Structure 1
């Protein structure tokens, strides 16, 4: 397995997805992060990626209208029971080449039993 399975997705905060004060709505960020978390594990499933079985989601800082965020998703661990995908959402800081963490998350996707059974019979 390639443990460096990852993706970077740009995300811009707009008025449409923020509250009246210009803060990004956490529920919108969660929905986006949830969708992006499935990208690194798509190649391990024969069918659609199943719904994750467990997750942790934490907001560290606020994001505001016009902030340019980067959502990074990386497959960090494969176990007999599933795949762990780590998410890090960052935004550029004023100082050169520095980013501050806006959000972090960890998603656990279950192993697809059909795929395992077919792999064993194919051998």
Structure 2
């Protein structure tokens, strides 16, 4: 069975998840990023994905109401003890079809040997 180790998700900033000035609340983006980080590693567990053991989360730019963000999650490292998922959140710039980085994050998920499926170790 092949496991999808890369995921893209859209996220639109609304008035409900922004502050009075129209800025996206970082805690809301963190929650969305945390949920999406589990997707690339779901296929490696027989049951639910365990809680991550370590993470780094950094906001680079603000996002505003009506901004359409893209959250990209990719399994970048697999060891006998953990999986590392890299997250990149971008928003489209109006000029030259470029994207600017809004946020980046790394999440480490533990390998639980009793739940880990040996047949899925190849990425």
TM over 0.5: yes
Structure 1 residues not aligned, in runs of 5+: none
Give the structure with higher Rg (CA): 1
**Distance (whole Å) between structure 2 residues aligned to residue 3 and residue 84 of structure 1:** 15
- Aligned residue pairs, count: 118
Q: Cα offset for 1:96?
A: 2.3
The answer on whether the counterparts of 1:75 and 1:84 sit within 8 Å (CA) in structure 2 is yes
Q: Give the 5 Å matches for 1:1-123.
A: 5-116=5-116, 119=118
Q: TM-score, normalised by structure 1?
A: 0.90
CA distance in 2, matches of 1:19, 1:115: 41
Deviation at 1:62, TM superposition (A): 0.1
User: Would the aligned equivalents of 1:37 and 1:85 in 2 still touch at CA under 8 Å?
Assistant: yes
Q: CA deviation at 1:90?
A: 0.1
**1:112 positional shift:** 1.6
Say what the alpha-carbon RMSD is for the aligned residues.
Answer: 1.8
4+ aligned runs moved over 4 Å, structure 1? none
TM-score (norm 2): 0.90
CA offsets 1:11-34 (integer angstroms, 9 cap, x no match): 000000000000000000000000
